[in-house]
Copies of this chain bind each other. A is one copy, B any other.
Amino acid sequence: MKKLNRDHVVYTMSRQHAPVLTIKDGETVTVHTYDCFRDRLVPKDSSFDSLRFDELNPATGPIFVDGAEPGDTLKVEILRISLADMGVTEIDPDFGCLARLVKAPAFKRLPIEDGKIRFSSRLSLDQKPMIGVIGVAPADREIPTDTPDTHGGNMDCTQIKEGASVYFPVSVRGALLSLGDLHACMGDGEIGGCGVETAGEVTLKLTVIPGCQKPYPVVVTDSRVMAVASCKTVDQAWEKAVEYLHDYMVTETELTSDEAIMLQSIAADLSICQTVNPNKTVRMSIPLRYLEAYGYRQK
C-alpha cells in the first residue's frame, strides 16, 4: 500500500497541479491530511491570530491514477478514516447563517477519544468521521478547494464516510484526486461553517471504471445510493439533486422514468449537506435495496 504525507497540499483543484503520487488502477493508498485551518487552531495556546486566510481548506494531492482518461469514472472506496485526537470548531460574525448573533469570533478545541468528541464536561458527541473536501481536477477551470461542484470539492457531505464509495467524473488524464478537511462529526447543513474539524489519515482504494461517466458525484454507502449537487442556492441544488438521482435511476436500473419519479417521491430523501460554501450542496438518497430490486448492481 502506498502512503502520501501532507507535505503536498493544494488550495485549488486544477489540471495545472503536478501529481505528487502516481498509483495503479485498483491500488490502495493512505493519505495524511490537515484540518481545514491547516491545524493552526490545534495548539493549546493558539488564537485567531494564528489563522492564515490563504491557508484554508488544504487538500493533500493531487494523486494521478494510471489509466484514468476523460470520460471514465473514478471510484474511490473509503476503506478507513483515522482521526487526530483533537478537533476544532469555530464561529464568526462574518460567516454562516447565524453570523448576526455572533459578537466575536470564537473557537473550541474538542478532544476526540474512544469514538466520542468532548464538547464540554456535560456533553460528549458521537463521532461520525467524514471527508469534507474530496474531488478531481475539472476539465478547464481551476476551482478553489472551498468550493463544491460537479468535480466534487468541498461537498461537506456526511455520507462520504468509512465504507462509502464515491464516484467522480474523470475530466483530465489521471483524474488528479485531492482530499482533506476531515470532520469528526458534522450536522447536515453545517450552518455555522464548521464541523468538528480535524486532521487524520484516510485509506482509499482507487479504481477506474472505463466509459461510464456520470457528470455528477454519486455516493454509495452500505445501505443507500445518492447523487450530490452543488449550486449557487439550496433551491437550485435540490432541484439538481433530484434530476441527477432520477437520471442515475433510469440509466442504472430497469425502472421507467415514471416509476423512478414515484419512488423518489415516496422513498428518496433530500438532505442539505452544507449551506456555507460558495456553492451550496444537497444530496438525494434512496435505499440501495430499492434499486437492487430493479437490477442495480454496484460497479
Take A270-B187, A271-B270 as given contacts and tell me if A193 and B265 are in contact as well, using a CB distance cutoff of 8 Å: yes
Residues of B within 8 A of A238 (CB): 97, 189, 234, 272, 275
From the candidates B91, B120, B122, B187, name the one contacting A268 in the complex (CB within 8 A).
Answer: B187
Residues of B within 8 A of A212 (CB): none
Interface set, chain A 236-283, CB cutoff 8 A to B: 238-239, 242-243, 246, 257-259, 261-272, 275, 282
Are A284 and B101 closer than 8 Å at their CB atoms?
no
Are B272 and A271 closer than 8 Å at their CB atoms?
yes
Are B186 and A91 closer than 8 Å at their CB atoms?
no
Interface set, chain A 75-125, CB cutoff 8 A to B: 89, 91, 96-98, 101-102, 106, 108, 117, 119-120, 122-123, 125
Interface residue tally for chain A (C-beta within 8 Å): 58
A46 contacts B by Cβ under 8 Å: no
Are A192 and B265 closer than 8 Å at their CB atoms?
yes
The A interface, classified by DSSP as helix, strand, loop or mixed, is mixed
A196 contacts B by Cβ under 8 Å: yes
A293 contacts B by Cβ under 8 Å: yes
On A, residues with C-beta under 8 Å from B are 89, 91, 96-98, 101-102, 106, 108, 117, 119-120, 122-123, 125, 183, 185-196, 233-235, 238-239, 242-243, 246, 257-259, 261-272, 275, 282, 284, 286, 290, 293-294
Q: Tell me, rounded to whole Å, the shortest Cβ–Cβ distance linking A230 to chain B.
A: 14
A-B contacts besides A108-B262, A185-B266, A189-B268, 14 pairs, CB < 8 Å: A89-B262, A91-B261, A91-B262, A98-B261, A101-B257, A101-B261, A119-B266, A122-B293, A125-B266, A187-B266, A187-B269, A189-B242, A189-B264, A191-B268
Nearest 10 CB-CB pairings of A with B: A189-B270, A192-B265, A188-B269, A123-B293, A270-B272, A187-B268, A122-B293, A192-B261, A234-B235, A98-B261
Residues of B within 8 A of A120 (CB): 259
- How many Å lie between the Cα of A294 and that of B195 in the bound state? 20
Q: Tell me, rounded to whole Å, the shortest Cβ–Cβ distance linking A283 to chain B.
A: 11
A–B Cβ pairs within 8 angstroms, 16 of them? A89-B265, A89-B266, A98-B243, A98-B264, A106-B258, A122-B293, A122-B294, A123-B293, A123-B294, A183-B266, A187-B265, A187-B267, A191-B264, A233-B235, A234-B238, A238-B275
Are B91 and A125 closer than 8 Å at their CB atoms?
no
